[in-house]
Amino acid sequence: MSDETTKREIKSFWWAPDHADVRWFGTLTLESGETPSLELIVERGDPFTDRRPLGPVIHGKDEHGKPITLIFVGSCGETMSGAVLKRTFSAGYALLGIALPCANSFVAHSLRFQVQHLYGWLGRSGFDPKVAESAGTFAVRYQRPEDEWFSITSDLELGVHGTYKTHNGFQERRIQEDAALTFRSKAGLSLTRCNKPVGSVRALLHLASLKKAYPVWMTVYQNGHGYKLGDRWIDHDIEIWSSVLREGKSEPPIPDSWVFRFADVRTDFAGFVRKWLDYTENIAEALGCYSSTIYHPLTEELAHLSLAQALEAYHGIRFSSHHKHEFQRKIKELGDLHAASLRGLVDDVGDFAERVLCTRNYYTHHNPKWLATGKVAEKAELWRMNEKLKLLFQMCVLTDLGIPADRFNRLRRQLATEIMDYA
Q: Dihedral (C-alpha) 190, 195, 196, 201: value to the nearest 10 degrees?
A: 140
CATH of the domain at 91: 2.40.10
Task: Check whether residue 410 and residue 376 sit in a common domain.
Answer: yes
Assigned domain for 233 exists: no
pLDDT band per the 50, 70, 90 thresholds, residue 261: very high
The H or E element containing residue 272 is helix 269-282
Task: Check whether residue 84 and residue 149 sit in a common domain.
Answer: no
Q: What one-character-per-residue DSSP string does 363-420 give?
A: HHH--HHHHTTT----HHHHHHHHHHHHHHHHHHHHHHTT--GGGGGGGGGGS-S---
pLDDT band per the 50, 70, 90 thresholds, residue 128: confident
Task: Check whether residue 118 and residue 193 sit in a common domain.
Answer: yes
Min mean pLDDT across 46-55, 359-368, 386-395 is at 46-55
Beta partners for residue 24, in sequence order: 14
| Position 52 pLDDT exceeds 90 | no
- Range of the structural domain that residue 307 is part of: 283-414
At 189 the three-state DSSP class reads strand
Task: Check whether residue 125 and residue 252 sit in a common domain.
Answer: yes
Domain end residue (candidates: 103, 129, 147): 103
In this prediction, residue 81 carries a pLDDT of 78
Q: Mean of the pLDDT values across residues 349-377? A: 96
Across the chain, mean pLDDT equals 93
| Position 5 pLDDT exceeds 60 | no
In this prediction, residue 198 carries a pLDDT of 98
The H or E element containing residue 337 is helix 327-337
Assigned domain for 114 exists: yes
In this prediction, residue 170 carries a pLDDT of 87
Domain end residue (candidates: 103, 122, 150): 103
Task: Check whether residue 130 and residue 257 sit in a common domain.
Answer: yes
Helical H runs in 123-261?
A: 191-209
Assigned domain for 366 exists: yes
Assigned domain for 225 exists: no
Task: Check whether residue 50 and residue 194 sit in a common domain.
Answer: no
Task: Check whether residue 320 and residue 385 sit in a common domain.
Answer: yes
Q: How far is CA 282 from CA 6, 91, 99, in A?
A: 35, 30, 34
Assigned domain for 166 exists: yes
Task: Check whether residue 261 and residue 139 sit in a common domain.
Answer: yes
At 171 the three-state DSSP class reads coil
DSSP state letter for 146? P
Task: Check whether residue 142 and residue 263 sit in a common domain.
Answer: yes
Assigned domain for 226 exists: no
CB atoms within 10 A of CB 221: 19
| Position 2 pLDDT exceeds 80 | no
Specify the higher pLDDT residue, 24 or 43: 24
In this prediction, residue 420 carries a pLDDT of 84
In this prediction, residue 1 carries a pLDDT of 43
Q: How far apart are CA 134 and CA 412, in angstroms?
A: 41
Task: Check whether residue 175 and residue 26 sit in a common domain.
Answer: no
Domain end residue (candidates: 61, 80, 103): 103
Report the domain count for the chain: 3
Q: Mean of the pLDDT values across residues 303-311? A: 98
Q: What is the pLDDT of residues 159-211, one digit of tens each?
A: 999 999 998 888 888 999 999 999 999 999 999 999 999 999 999 999 999 99
| Position 151 pLDDT exceeds 60 | yes
Task: Check whether residue 191 and residue 296 sit in a common domain.
Answer: no
Task: Check whether residue 197 and residue 313 sit in a common domain.
Answer: no
Q: Mean of the pLDDT values across residues 266-284? A: 97
pLDDT band per the 50, 70, 90 thresholds, residue 48: low
The H or E element containing residue 180 is strand 173-189
Specify the higher pLDDT residue, 393 or 143: 393
